[in-house]
Structure formats: structure tokens, C-alpha cells
Structure 1
Amino acid sequence: MSSSDPWLVVGLGNPGAQYAATRHNVGQMVVAELAERMRGAFKPHKANARVAEGRVVPGGPRCVLALPNTYMNVSGGPVNGLLKYFGLPPERLIVVHDELDIPFDALKLKQGGGHGGHNGLRDIIAATGSNDFVRVRVGIGRPPGRQQAADFVLQPFSSTERQTLPNLVVDAADAVELIAADGLTAAQLKVHTAG
């Protein structure tokens, strides 16, 4: 694979209007932002996902943006199906997802590693047989008090968070563009030193 090969960029979340504005769907918000930037429209794909194709960076590699139609904890099937359909290895996969272990409004980029209790990542690792994909981890912070994480991620962002959320989505979309254009290491240098 070379740096000009396509990327598959998957935004994790749950389908349906009732989940659209929840913390668990921030990955889908980021991928929707990328589609808007490249003026791409999502179309149904046989891998049980909606897909938009184009270049997120002019002159950069082609990107396949994807939103699985499945619930978060069974994201692996659509992701594996898309990798096979487009003939891409897991190393050319970027998964954008919510991350409890990172404060709200912060981003971390990494390749490989475990699932950290994230059911979407767990299912992708199981379905693809690999953890060697790139993750854009979008911080949503920890639940307040004794609230269960499972309840917290399925709630909408607070009114205070909603004021900052558009900037966070833009920053995460910028990070995906950096990875696609310059590679993960260069993107990490920019993103991790910016904060």
C-alpha cells in the first residue's frame, strides 16, 4: 500500500433520529462534516452502510466515508464488508469514535491498541481480525457522579457542551484530513501539541 491509496473513514454511532444528537454519535457527526466539505452525498451500500466517495483534501488520496446502518456494538460487519469491497487492509481504515477516557473537547489520534471497553471498536476488531487501524478518539469525558457510562453516552450533549461541539467536530474532521494527507505521525504532532 502507498500513501496515495484510498482511506476508508468510518464514523461510529447508532442509527435513528433519537440517537443523532447523542454523545455516542459524535463519530458520525465528524464524518458527516467531512462529506459536507467534499460536497459528497451518502448513498446506500450493500455492506449495510451509507457511503460517500471523494477527496477530503484536494489532490490527496481518495476517501470512502462510511456510516454503518447498524447499532454501534455491531459495527464490525459493515466495516469488514467495506474493507473487502474496496480491497483495503485495516491499516487504511480510520475509525472516528467517542472516547470516555479523554476530556470533552479534546482529541487523540492513534493506531492499534485494544478496544478500551468501547463496544464499537471491540466489534470491529473481532470482525476484521485486526486492531491495526487508525482511531480518531473524540473526547466526551466521563459521566458525572455515579451515572453509568452506558446511559451517559446515549444522552445528548449538555447545553454548555453544545456551544463547543461544532468546534470539536471541525477539529476532528481536520484531524482526519491531516491523516489522509500527511500520515498519522504528522497528524499526531499537530493535533497533540495544539492543545
Structure 2
Amino acid sequence: MLGFLKALLTGKRNEEEGRMFVIVGLGNPEKKYFGTRHNVGFATIDALSDKYNIGLTETKFKAVYGKGRIGSERVILVKPLTYMNLSGEAVAPICNYFKVDTKSDLIVISDDVELDAGRIRVRPKGSAGGHNGLKNIIAQLGHDEFSRVRVGVGKKPKEWDMVDWVLGHFEGEDATAIKEGIEDATEAVLDIIENGPDSAMNKFNGKK
């Protein structure tokens, strides 16, 4: 009875209690950023949404999100609407509201300019590595001990400005490679959920 009353007061159903993974893809919300290198996190969330039939139908916490299942676990797929540099302003509130343990049940997907297009790298924790979205999430959470899947978007050519590079679109072989990379990223998320980040690191970090 107490649990039922608590659910009524918080607006949550009993089925929402217990373990839940929050999976966040980083990007910028305007249509003009669709398909850019900086938005591969969004693209991976869209791929997960399609693959597991999880509609992104709710807008709250400065984010658009949807609840469903991946494998045997309940998940929330999240795309922050804050723009990249303020991603933590969406991630922290949604994790707090759903009482998610951000050190074990948060997975963040982002782009990586140090990896070839389509390569992915899984990490159980670590620094932002110069990525402003990750930097803001770390600042808002107060720690860097959350899992992340970094999707390679290709190294910036010397003649390019970094902002122009990450906000540019994939072309040629990179456009093909990134599709495979996004698929690998969805598989890595499943592996993290079912087996932990170490398993996903062993399977995907050396994959070409």
C-alpha cells in the first residue's frame, strides 16, 4: 500500500521502479544539424528507436525521450534539446527524476574526431577528451564514471576549421562507414546493458 501511495504522489507507476538504463545520444536539435558529424549520437538513438520500437514521444527535462526495452532491461532513450555544450542540463535532471545510478546505468553516445569514420570506442569512464557535450555532463553529474560509446567521424583535415568539420556532413566512403559504425554502436549498447562495458570494449574497440 505504501508503495502504491508513493507511486501516486510521484506520478510514477510501480513498473517504473527498479533498474533502468538511460541511453543518451549527443547532438544539436535543429534540422540543419541532421546528418552532421556532431550528431552521430542522435543518429544512434534514432537507430535504437527503430530497432527496438521505442518511440521518442515525450518532451521534458530539456530533452525528447522514450521508454521501452532493449534485451531484458528497461531503458530510456534520450536526445537532449539543449544543444551540445549544455547536454548535462538534460542528462542530470532525467537521471535524477528516474533515480538512475549514473555510475552503472547511464550510457552516453557521442562523436569522436580522433577515430576513423565508423570506428567505435567503448569506455566505462574517463575524461571528456575535449568533447564539450561530455564535459558538460561530467560537470553536471559531478563525476566521469559513466559508460560511453564514442563513434568515429574521421580526423579533421589540416585545412579545415574544427567547428566546420564537426558540423559538416559525411561524404564518399565516410558516409558508408558511418552507417556501419552506427549499427556497431547499437550493438555495443546492447552488450553494455547485457554484459557490461568491459565485454563491449573487448568486442568493439579493436574492430575495423
Please state which band the TM-score falls in when normalised by the shorter chain. over 0.9
Structure 1 unmatched runs, 5+: none
Indicate the residue corresponding to 1:98 in structure 2. Answer: 111
Indicate the residue corresponding to 2:139 in structure 1. Answer: 126
Q: Deviations over 1:12-50 (max 9, x none)?
A: 000111001100000110111111111111123320111
Q: 2:93 aligns with which of 81, 84, 107?
A: 81
Indicate the residue corresponding to 2:10 in structure 1. Answer: none
1:140 maps onto 2:153 in alignment: yes
2:22 alignment partner, SS class: strand
Q: Distance in 2 between matches of 1:100 and 1:128?
A: 24
- Equivalent position amino acid for 1:102 in 2: L
Indicate the residue corresponding to 1:34 in structure 2. Answer: 48
Q: 2:38 aligns with which of 24, 36, 56?
A: 24
Which structure's relative contact order is higher, taking Cα pairs within 8 Å and 6+ residues apart? 1
Report the RMSD for the aligned CA atoms in angstroms. 1.3
Q: Distance in 1 between matches of 2:89 and 2:57?
A: 18
State how many pairs are aligned: 190
Shift of 1:55: 1.2
Shift of 1:53: 1.1
1:109 maps onto 2:122 in alignment: yes
Deviating beyond 3 angstroms after TM superposition, the runs of 4 or more aligned structure 1 residues are none
Q: Deviations over 1:72-114 (max 9, x none)?
A: 0010110001110110122111000000111212111002211
Indicate the residue corresponding to 1:156 in structure 2. Answer: 169
Q: Contact 2:25/2:42 (CA < 8 Å) preserved in 1? A: yes
Structure 2 unmatched runs, 5+: 1-17
- Equivalent position amino acid for 2:185 in 1: A
Q: Distance in 2 between matches of 1:11 and 1:136?
A: 9
Shift of 1:159: 2.9
Q: What pairs up with 1:43-82 in 2 under 5 angstroms?
A: 43-57=57-71, 60-82=72-94
Q: Distance in 2 between matches of 1:48 and 1:159?
A: 34
Q: Contact 2:124/2:198 (CA < 8 Å) preserved in 1? A: no
Q: Contact 2:153/2:178 (CA < 8 Å) preserved in 1? A: no
Percentage identity across paired residues of the two chains: 34
